[in-house]
Amino acid sequence: MSENVHPGINLGASHGEAHHGSERTAFGFWIFLMSDLVIFGILFATYVVMRPNLAGGPGPSELYDLKSIAKQTGLLLASSFTFGLVSLSMKYGSRTGAVAFWLVITAALGTGFLYLEIKDFARMAGDGGIPQRSGFLSSLWALVGLHGLHLVAGLAWIGVMLALITARGLSDAVKSRLLLLGLYWHFLDLIWIGIFSVVFLGGMA
Amino acid sequence: MSDPVFGRLDWRVTPFDDFWRNPTANEAVASGAALVVILGAVAVAWFLTSRRLWRPLWRDWLTSADHKKIGIMYVVLAGVMFLRAVAEGFVMRTHQVTALDGGFLSPDHFAQLFSTHGTIMIFFVATPLITGLINFVVPLQIGARDMAFPVMNQVSLGLTAAGAGLVMISLVVGQFGTGGWTMYPPYTGATFSPGPGVDYWIWAIGISGIGSTLSGINFAVTIYKMRAPGVRFLRMPMFTWTALTTAIMMVYAFPPLTVSNAMLALDRYLDFHFFTNDLGGNMMHYANIFWMFGHPEVYIVVLPAYGVFSEISSTFAAKRLYGYNSLVIATLAIAVISFCVWLHHFFTMGQGASVNAAFGIATMIIAVPTGVKVYDWLATLYEGRIRMSVPIIYLTGFFILFVFGGLTGVILANPTLDYQVHNSQFLVAHFHNVLIPGTLFGVFAGIHYWFPKAFGFRLDERLARRAAYLWFAGFCLAFLPLYWLGLMGMPRRAASYENAAFESVMWLTFAGAVIVLAALGTMIWTFVASARNRAALACPIGDPWDGRSLEWATAAPAPEWNFAATPEVEALDPFTIEKAEGEPYQPAECYEDIEVPRNTAMGVVIGGLTGVMGFALVWWMWWLAALALAGVVAAIVARAFVTDTHQRIGADELRQAHRDFLDRVAATEPVNRDLEMTSRNRGRADPEAPA
């Protein structure tokens, strides 16, 4: 067995008990993320296949607003950075206050992203870009919408973690769950990079 | 517009209502089936109440997180569903002997029968049987105390049971879909199948598919992270290797099913256009995504059966497994290639010759590692001292029939030939010919082999042999004639036919179906008779077959903690080596306190709520679906706040229990292999000279 019991940050300055304790869960969560990646991969493939099927409805040039997408990308990347600060304040010093503070900031940035995304969707629907209009729009709403749903789940998860931190402080179990939440959050960021490149930049190219 | 409370559900959806208004044979069959479901549920409830078994069922089984009990429950669930699906097969065969220019069932009813038969056999028989075997055996084989995530394991079982429950409810309330087990759109879209049938399929498969994904994650983490010291990858028993491969495949193959299901649901519920005929839908896309799951799935269910055959060939020939490394490589090769062949399920849908050729070649290549495996098993048996026990009878049947089925698979892999016989009875014969002798015989052999480990007594050898021979004969008679029918040009899924030449062959297969029913009856009787005679068949020491791997070193039934002290392993077949050196059953040097998971109702709660959610979605009761989903989320969040999830078992208790067991071993007379089938076999083996 190597020193690295699982991929992810070491929980605690000198590996710590929690690092070993989360060996199974962290590894299992990576596998779960892989299966989730397969889901997103198939939705990407569906989008690429359906991309020409406009059926006379609106296409990317009428629907996409790159300014808003740029703002969303900025917010989400910033939230990934602040989650990095959550992990660092958990690992060095284990200050509950700092961890909770950066979690709240992360959640706020994520909420901002969601607000802009919903606004985009509402505008698209107003322009006749509803998923019932064409195969292209169905695949667009499914791919981007599933990412949005993942974010909603992530925000709920952050809420639960804040409640747990308030109730228990940074116990080993809480640390290990924060590690998983971090993996999840950065994973969503990664998916967004894919969506941003394939759907929005690719659609406008 | 549907009712706000009951959606589209009303009193007219049961088959009884149709029978009342239109008493024909067709409606009588449907009502009879529904009545069987209701009476079966009532009978089970009455039995549990009269024997006062509700509390033990809840305390010792439903809320248990012990991998052995969960494995047994998986197999029981699969057994119940198996009875129904075999009965459906029998009804279809009965219909087909009368189906020259007609038949006594309506075409729609016949279509429901083959759809449920396929759906149940794949998702609620083969998959749970395999999952159950892996659950029961793998932790014991790698020297672990439990699965990596015991509670998630229970939730997986709950989700699978919820899906199975939905399929059962569809017999009584409403109908099932008529699109076959694959439910291809656009036929299954809202335009052509407006009723609740396809929705039953979507939610049953969707819910149980998520359960299988979680099972896959669980098995993979268990095997990667929970092996006892010294159990290196190349010292794992072959069954564990196949379980690991299957777990990896589950993680990658079930998400596509989830996606295709969700897209079909969006098409049907929210009027999306993934697979519709109009507005840019692409129905070919469904076939691609579905078979990205569907083809790996057949290897998911057959690889662990290969693992069982590896175990039994080496145990019952008293020889080391021949070509262990090549078997491992072949297993992994099959897993990889199985993801590269999905297109052979629709050669005739028009993707062009080059694509077809590539996938045809990939499909034929799969025969190579499979052939390697068959030769390895044959070489394992070669010059061994073979006992013709029940598992070896199944293995023999498997050799003959499975190779035959594999060869017809190579025929079908050739696109030019596939154009002639695709979607004919030839194909039906082929996949039954690999799934029954492969998966089913493997699981039957495995159940016979590990049954003593689970319950502490052997199965009656004489009856079990009869069942095995009947399965062999029944299968040959019921399915091999279908090759002939297919070559004569009879299409699959045909509710009636006009060619009189088909009818005589249909009578042959009907006779085969009768023999299969007899085999099933003999099997059930084997369990009942063995349970009644369990005093004579008891083998409490837990090693009735002179086993080779770790699981045989424990008592039967194995204690909750599996091993009193964590075993240390130094080679493959560790238990055989211990017995050969004359030092099995040694007390451990030190015993440590251990933690086992406490009972929890998570599996029942989440399974029950998702089942309610699925039912509500089928019948458009939106408020109930939302409520059930909220309940699932609440249960998961509440679970996060539970701290007291484990109970400690002290070292003293373990030491005492182990000492008692070793005393019982010392007091038991070892039996050699000649007496294996007699009542003198109490589960302590007098080992053969190792080979």
Whether B228 contacts chain A with CB within 8 A: no
Q: What are phi and psi of B7, to 5 degrees?
A: 60, -125
Closest to B429 (Cα-Cα) out of B492, B494, B489: B492
- Residue B130: band (very low, low, confident or very high) from pLDDT cuts 50, 70, 90: very high
**Chain A: closest CA distance from residue B233 (Å):** 12
Tell me what pLDDT residue B358 has: 97
User: Tell me, what DSSP letter sits at residue B645?
Assistant: -
Res A2: pLDDT:
47
Reading the block at residue B587, the tokens are 């007390």
A139-172 pLDDT, tens digit per residue, is 999 999 999 999 999 999 999 999 999 998 888 8
The reported pLDDT for the residue numbered A3 is: 60
The residues of A whose Cβ lies within 8 A of any Cβ of B are 23-25, 27-28, 31-32, 34-36, 38-39, 42-43, 46, 49-50, 53-55, 57, 131-139, 141-142, 156, 160, 164, 167, 173, 177
Residue of B nearest to A168 (CA): B641
pLDDT tops 70 at residue B89: yes
The vertex-A170 CA angle with A164 and A171, nearest 5°, equals 90
Residues of A in contact with B637 (CB under 8 A): 160
For residues B65-78, give the mean pLDDT.
Answer: 97
Kindly indicate the confidence band of residue B691, based on its pLDDT and cuts at 50, 70 and 90. Answer: low
B285 touches chain A (CB under 8 A): yes
Residues of chain A under the 70 pLDDT cut:
1-3, 14-15
The tens digit of pLDDT for each residue in B13-53 reads: 889 988 998 899 999 999 999 999 999 999 999 999 999 99
Please enumerate in sequence order all residues whose Cβ is within 8 A of that of A171, keeping only pairs 6 or more positions apart, or say none. Answer: none
User: What is the mean predicted confidence (pLDDT) over B595-600?
Assistant: 92
- Gap from B251 CA to chain A (nearest CA, Å): 6
Contact at 8 Å (CB) between B26 and B106?
yes
**Interface contact flag, A134 B282, Cβ < 8 Å:** no
Determine the average pLDDT of the residues in B297-312. 97
For residue B690, pLDDT beyond 70: no
* Inter-residue long-range contacts of B619-622, CB under 8 Å, 24+ positions, other chains counted: B619/B6, B619/B7, B619/B8, B619/B9, B619/B174, B619/B196, B620/B2, B620/B7, B620/B8, B620/B9, B621/B5, B621/B6, B621/B7, B621/B9, B622/B7
Chain B, 611 to 640: residues with Cβ < 8 Å from chain A are 633, 637, 640
Supply the pLDDT for residue B10.
86
Burial class (CB in 10 A: 0-12, 13-18, 19+), B529: middle
Return the percent helix, strand and coil in chain B, to nearest 5.
Answer: 70, 5, 30
Q: With pLDDT > 70 as the criterion, what percentage of chain B qualifies?
A: 100
**Is the pLDDT higher at A4 or at B210?**
B210
Measured between CA atoms, how close is A65 to chain B, in angstroms?
A: 23
- β-sheet bridge partners, residue B385: none
Contact B434, B413 (CB under 8 A): no
Cα dihedral sign, B380-B548-B157-A18: negative
Given pLDDT bands bounded at 50, 70 and 90, which one contains residue B399? very high
Contact residues, chain B, for A34 at CB < 8 Å: 251-252
Which chain B residue shows the shortest CA-CA distance from A161? B640
Q: What is the dihedral of CA B248, B250, B255, B258, to 10 degrees?
A: -170
Query: Per-residue pLDDT for B519 more than 70?
Result: yes
Mean pLDDT of B250-256: 97
| Residues in Cβ contact with A12 at an 8 Å cutoff, skipping those fewer than 6 apart | A18, A19, A91, A94, A175
According to the model, what pLDDT value does residue A204 have? 84
Q: Where is B648: in which H helix or E strand?
A: strand B646-649
Residue A137: list chain B partners with CB under 8 A. 273
Chain A positions in Cβ-Cβ contact with residue B190 (cut-off 8 Å): none
Residue A28 parent element (H or E): helix A23-50
CB within 8 Å: B640 and A164: yes
Closest CA to B623 of B7, B155, B109: B7
Of residues B562, B495, B596, B556, the one with CA closest to residue B685: B556
What was the pLDDT predicted at A37? 97
Residues B69, B329: Cα–Cα separation, whole Å:
32
State how far residue B253 is from chain A, nearest Cα, in angstroms: 9
Q: Give the end-to-end CA distance of chain B in Å, rounded to a whole number.
A: 73
Span B220-233, mean pLDDT? Answer: 96
Q: What is the pLDDT of residue A1?
A: 42
How high is the pLDDT of residue A21? Answer: 83
Amino acid at B452: P
Q: Kindly state whether B217 is in contact with chain A, defined as any CB-CB distance less than 8 angstroms.
A: yes
Residue B1: pLDDT band with limits 50, 70, 90 = low
Interface test with A, best of B272, B286, B288 (most A CBs within 10 A): B272
User: Which residues in chain A are contacts of B256 at CB distance < 8 A?
Assistant: 38, 42
Residue-wise pLDDT tens digits, B623-661: 999 999 999 999 999 999 998 889 999 999 999 999 999
- Whether this prediction's pTM lies above 0.85 is answered by yes
- B160: nearest Cα among B77, B72, B59, B218: B77
Angle at B97 between CA B93 and CA B98, to 5 degrees: 120
Angle between helix axes B602-618 and B197-225 (nearest 10 degrees) is 150
Q: How far is CA B149 from CA A189, B219, B253, B562, in A?
A: 27, 9, 21, 16
